[in-house]
Chains A and B, each alone.
Chain A
Amino acid sequence: MTVFRFVFLRSFRNTTNLIFLTLFPLVCIFMPQGDPWPVLPYGYQLFGVFLLFVSIRLASYIQVDRMSGVVKRLSIAPLSHASYLSQHLLAYLLIIMLQCVILVYGGVLYGQPLIQPFLLLILYISYSLAALAIALAWITLFRNKELAFFGFMSFVFLVSVLGGIIVPVSMFPEWLARIAVLFPTYWLAEGQLWIVYGNELGDFLFVNVVLWLYALVFMIIGSTRKLR
């Protein structure tokens, strides 16, 4: 598990990263409730966008490794590519899960009306899986870290707007609302809606399963598309 340990070390070594990874969930906790939308306080909405950024930021370490030749160098070490990749993803997932826990239970302590905090945590984790997988697939498209990051920014903006995180889907025209279903952000918003108003547990499960499917599909794309 050497790779796993050093992923943590690298991720937290950079001060910008450290601030980025710890400060933002804290800030999100204290954001006010909107009226009548979104159903949960603003910070819990925004966190969905933020998680996409965290994912690409973390995944870019893998991209840097590919570009710098570290991945090639490791390919001759007694370490399989699958092991390299899974140790990275596991570490990233833990980092993100920690942020989710901070956000959700910090909110509970602060007194935010989160209705069902544990299920909200589950929802965030499912969503993080999807976000991480998308980021992993995304970086295989680019040979340059900056380009990948800025490309991703536009992608995140699009996904956030069209997925109903910044504007409620109910305000979209019919056809646009139908497209919204394609974005993971839509399912995050749906899940949050359920947490506040839903009662059939099956509906909540469905939302999570959709997010897991995203994760699965993009994980496969991201891990099989090796460079060169």
Chain B
Amino acid sequence: MQGVVKRYGNAVALDYVDLAIYEGEIVGLLGPNGAGKTTLIQTMTGMVPIERGTIKLFGQSNNPFTHANKEKLGLVTQEITVYDELTAKENLQFFAGVYGLKGSERKERVQEALAFVGLAEYADKVPTKFSGGMKRRLNIACALTHRPKLLIMDEPTVGIDPQSRNHILESVKKLQEQGTTILYTTHYMEEVQEIASRVVIMDQGQMIKGGTVDQLIQSIQHEERIHIDVADTSLLPVEQLQSIAGVMHVDVAGTRVTVISTAGSGNVDRILSLVKEYTGVLGIQTENPDLEDVFLTLTGKQLRDGGGEA
């Protein structure tokens, strides 16, 4: 997609967004709440119309949403969109049928999808009896029976247990090995770090940065993260800390203050002595940056917990 703009009333949900996805990749799309991730997906699948820009799907840009192209597309929605009255198996039969699968082929694909997400034993149970993680897995399976070439997953691991999450991440990797191209949207850095071949970061309707995980971390290699455990965080001189030259971000959580600063600027000592003036220091630790810091530096926001302002 290129130069895509999407507004809701006066609010700009996508602001001249460019994104290319190549065959065989897992692209991790990262962004805080309201960044426009879901909107991006909805525009690139033709679910909602766009104001400007072009969308090219499987090489077609004039009329990208033909039935032939739609058959190659799979979407795991952010909300769980399965039928509560139907069993897991029936849900899959339904979606398979909508994609034109019939007879024994459909039967096979349904079994395959059930096994793939680890729900084979629950084939004849209705989703209302499922745990959150099982529902998520069923929601994923519904997008798989027709073996899409491009699979789009909108926060498939939100609010689920670690076991289900691992299962899902494993599945995504397996799908890629089988030749599926995947766009994977999430709030969770670890997930992207684990599976994505490439990452794009988005905030407030704009693409902020893209590249491999390593490239992104390299781009802020000149930064370091300083954790200081203190006796009383309420006494911290946060504003003074922020005003130190080279300090990019200050974050307080629990008994710990985390400062991101230019590496080698001697700031560690400066920060430490400043903090000591106000409260007792219990411990200090410095770290090289990870993807989380890339995000923090670029957007000034924490990815999780609703993305608190810096």
Residues of A within 8 A of B (CB): 2-3, 5-6, 9-10, 13-14, 68-70, 72-79
Contact = CB atoms under 8 A, between A and B. Distances in A.
B79 A74 contact: no
Q: Which of B45, B86, B97 has most A Cβ within 10 Å?
A: B97
A76 B79 contact: no
A76 B46 contact: yes
A121 B67 CA distance: 40
Contacts of B81: 68-70, 72-73
A71 to B, nearest CB: 9
Contacts of B68: 78
Nearest to B143: A73
Contacts of B20: none
A92 B45 CA distance: 30
A2 B103 CA distance: 12
A143 B70 CA distance: 28
Contacts of B95: 77
A132 B99 CA distance: 28
Interface string B200-227: 0000000000000000000000000000
Interface residues of B, number: 25
Given A68-B79, A68-B81, A69-B81, A77 B86 contact: no
Q: Which of A2, A13, A70, A72 has the most CB of B within 10 A?
A: A2
A76 B71 contact: no
Given A73-B75, A76-B75, 19 more contacts: A2-B98, A5-B97, A6-B90, A6-B97, A9-B90, A10-B86, A68-B79, A68-B81, A70-B82, A72-B81, A73-B81, A76-B47, A76-B65, A76-B70, A76-B73, A77-B70, A78-B70, A78-B98, A78-B100
Contacts, number: 56
Given A6-B86, A10-B83, A68-B81, A74 B46 contact: no
17 contacts: A3-B98, A6-B86, A9-B86, A14-B85, A68-B79, A68-B81, A70-B82, A73-B77, A73-B81, A74-B98, A76-B65, A76-B73, A76-B75, A77-B70, A77-B98, A78-B68, A79-B98
B278 interface: no
Contacts of B67: 78
A140 to B, nearest CB: 18
B94 interface: yes
Contacts of A79: 98
B46 A2 contact: no
A87 B100 CA distance: 15
Contacts of B73: 76
A206 to B, nearest CB: 41
A70 B46 contact: no
A23 B277 CA distance: 81
A62 B90 CA distance: 18
A77 B95 CA distance: 9
Contacts of A5: 97
A10 B68 CA distance: 28
B47 A78 contact: no
A70 B83 contact: yes
A2 B96 CA distance: 9
B258 to A, nearest CB: 38
Nearest to A72: B47
3 nearest A-B pairs in the assembled complex, by CB-CB distance: A2-B97, A78-B67, A69-B81
A82 to B, nearest CB: 13
Most buried by A among B42, B45, B98, B100: B98
B129 to A, nearest CB: 14
Contact of A78 (B71, B77, B94): B71
Interface string B20-31: 000000000000
